[in-house]
Amino acid sequence: MKDRARENSRGKYGGYRTSALLAGILAALYSAEASAQSIIKQPGNHPHYSVDLEPHLAVGLDDPGYWGGTGWGLGMRATIPFLRNGPISTINNDMGIGFGLDWLTRSGSCGRYYPGYPYSNYDCSGYAFYLPVVLQWNFYLTDIITVYGEPGLAFRFAHASYTYPCGPGLVCEDSAGHTDPILVLGGGAKFMFGRTIGLNVRLGYPYVSVGASFLL
């Protein structure tokens, strides 16, 4: 019980620190936005680039194995524009095709059901690779802020290892993997520090990410 209380306390205060950090970032970005000039009604007034390279950190909303919970990891996305102005000709927007590779992992306790041993906690570990292909539609609000929508598909390979009760006083080990296509759906914002470098924040499924954008 004491260990659980300490874990809850760490989680509680860790949550406060994370919330304070996010609030500080949002306040700084809001201040920058307030001083920026709108360019959404200026078609073509945005950086022209050959590829947007985006290394990022990711937190998975998907299951990187066979139990509930989130995973964390790293990834890379490359987006190549194919419409530099449009498809809406009266506003500042463009479209690109994005390709990526993401790796997420998770370890710790997990709850699984086996006959006679319902929902006990055992040590588990798992990882997942994602190969997404997405359509990225960018809207240039100011010279600092660009927002985008991003539908697409990904191929996922997930693998999990876990222990479980297999008899009185016995604990066994097992592992399994699967590969399947999944829907990718999300949106985000790019906060540019200049014409070619910015912060990229993505919200969506199967993961959220924070990284950099390098417009080359």
- Measured CA to CA, the distance from residue 213 to residue 193 in angstroms comes to 10
pLDDT at position 7: 39
- Measured CA to CA, the distance from residue 86 to residue 31 in angstroms comes to 29
pLDDT per position as a tens digit, 42-79: 999 999 999 999 999 999 876 555 445 578 899 999 99
pLDDT at position 195: 87
Token output for 67: 């139990």
Q: Find how far residue 145's CA is from the centre of its chain.
A: 19
- Measured CA to CA, the distance from residue 190 to residue 81 in angstroms comes to 15
* b/e code 28-66 from CB counts within 10 Å (16+ = b): ebeeeeeeeeebbeebeebeebeebebebebebebbbbb
pLDDT at position 8: 44
**In the CATH scheme, what architecture does the domain 36-215 have?**
Beta Barrel (2.40)
Q: What is the DSSP letter of 70?
A: -
Pick from 13-17, 68-72, 93-97: least confident: 13-17
Q: Report the SS3 class of residue 107.
A: strand
First-to-last alpha carbon distance for the chain, in angstroms, is 54
Cβ(156)–Cβ(129) under 8 Å? yes
pLDDT per position as a tens digit, 123-151: 777 888 999 999 999 999 999 999 999 99
The domain spans of the chain are 36-215
pTM over 0.85: no
